[in-house]
Amino acid sequence: MLRWRQWQERIGRHLLQGITLGCVLLAGLMILGLLLKSWPLLQEQNLWSMLVSRDWRPHRGEFGYFPFLAGTLWVTGGAMLLAVPLALLTATYLSEYASHRVCTLFKPLIDLLAGIPSVVYGVWGVLTIVPLVKNEVAPWFGRFTSGYCILSASLVLAVMTLPVIIHVSLEVMQAVPRELRESALSLGATRWQTVKKVVLRKALPGLLAANVLGFARAFGETMAVIMVAGNVARVPGSIFDPAYPLPALIANNYGEMMSVPRYDAALMLAALLLLGVVLGFSVLSRLVLQRLQRRWR
């Protein structure tokens, strides 16, 4: 009987190791597949010159990614600037200040927001956010815009990203042992000092992971961005200018790629750049977290 249990444990351990290795290999195979598909274009043109070029003329063989990279960073950066503070404050309130009844009431509503399809958010953005930005926000700043601009896309993405960051942050903060809070309060710390010095510091790795997850959601979002960003292939100069993020480029043009030479390789390279930025941001956030942890020890 003991030997059978040992065999079960060994089989289960090897099975879990295989699943973990399979997930890592899957990411590697995705990168390799995109690289192979985009290799014909990389052989003909220099990668750096394509990254800094502003000219996107596929019929002439000109594939400049800078307007799309700039549009993606503008939209995603604006969404994160709006979503992260609100999400952290909301998670802090629900975890540390709200009653159990209030927290139980709002958690399912937050999860419901996270499950709404992106096309619904896009329709809401077209019907509500775009007219609001066009008729109210832009004139208040003395600017004219059609409403299909970076600000509209950032607002829609911020609303889409909020539930994801709030849910993960709330779970992480609630996982902090209550004994730590009680110890800080017993030493004379106020509620806010306990939250700032104990809870947030202890939950920092999970909070950073929540923000990275929200960034990945915003950076790779397609449908809602297509509907409200404007999709103009030029470098934006302000939040009231239209943008053309990389996901929208891939989604809008993938069906046309067979009619233009190297167009398929250009779109696959755009997908590879998209994946590379998300992976790079994840690695960078991990390095920053390790640096902070060493400083606080």
* pLDDT of the residue at 293: 63
* pLDDT of the residue at 258: 61
* pLDDT tens digit sequence for 61-118: 788 889 898 888 899 889 999 999 999 999 999 888 888 888 888 888 888 888 888 8
Q: Which two tokens stand for residue 170?
A: 């709330």
Using the structure block, give the residue that is written with the tokens 């070029």: 53
Q: Given a cut of 80, is residue 240 above it in pLDDT?
A: yes
* pLDDT of the residue at 81: 92
Question: Given 1.10.3720.10, 1.20.1050.10, 3.40.50.300, 2.170.8.10, which CATH number is that of 67-255?
Answer: 1.10.3720.10
Write the CB contacts of 118 (distance below 8 Å, at least 6 apart in sequence): 160, 221, 222, 223, 224
pTM: 0.84
> How far is it, in rounded angstroms, from Cα 265 to Cα 38?
4
Domain range annotation of the chain: 67-255
Distances (CA, A) of 228 to 69, 114, 187, 217: 17, 19, 52, 17
Q: Given a cut of 80, is residue 143 above it in pLDDT?
A: yes
* pLDDT of the residue at 296: 56
Q: Which residue has the higher pLDDT, 256 or 50?
A: 50
Residue 155's pLDDT band, with cuts at 50, 70 and 90, is very high
> How far is it, in rounded angstroms, from Cα 297 to Cα 283?
22
Q: Given a cut of 80, is residue 1 above it in pLDDT?
A: no
Mean pLDDT, the chain, rounded, equals 84
